[in-house]
Amino acid sequence: MTALEDLSREIILDHYQNPRNHGRLEHPTLANRGHNPLCGDEIELSVTIDDDNISDIAFVGRGCSISQASASMMTETVKGHRLDEAEAVVKSFTSRMADRQPPPPNLEEELDALQGVKKYPARVKCALLPWTTLRETVDLCRHREPAPVDDNVLDCADAP
């Protein structure tokens, strides 16, 4: 085992054993589930969105260490960031997982630890599950945008 694999394993194991942002938010803006039938992984995300900002995010789930560690890392990455920033990071993460480039020689970011999973193609879906679930959640949120309130419309009670 190389030092990189060792480090990757350590980071993934740490997130798996001590998941960040683990649990369910009490009053989330949105909750959404993702499922990876290939491995049986499940992720349930709850997010609070204020002014296009992910002010809080939490997950519960079960499944393999890769999927759960990836969920922990994902929540840590996007918490406190804007929805469009979250979308951008989902996009770059998924494209890096999909390409055939070898994992980076140095771990510049913690997330790079997940790149090692590419050596096991069956597990890539595990690593991606939390990210695709987040993308769906953002989409759901966007569609739920309430229409702007028309101040000129009076409630019946206010009518003369």
Is residue 32 involved in binding Zn ion (CB under 5 A)? no
Of 21, 67, 68, 70, the one binding Zn ion by CB under 5 A: 67
Among the listed ranges 70-78, 111-119, 126-134, 136-144, the one in contact with Zn ion (CB under 5 A) is 126-134
Residue 116 CA to its chain's centroid (Å): 18
Interactions with Zn ion, residue window 73-112 (CB under 5 A): none
- Choice between 54 and 133, CB closer to Zn ion: 133
Report the residue number, 28 or 63, with the smaller CB distance to Zn ion: 63
Find the farthest-apart pair of alpha carbons in the chain and give their distance in angstroms, rounded: 80
Q: What are phi and psi of 155, to 5 degrees?
A: -65, 155
End-to-end CA distance of the chain: 80
Q: Which of 24, 26, 42, 27 is nearest to 130 (CA)?
A: 42
User: Applying CB under 5 A, which residues contact Zn ion?
Assistant: 39, 41, 63-64, 67, 126
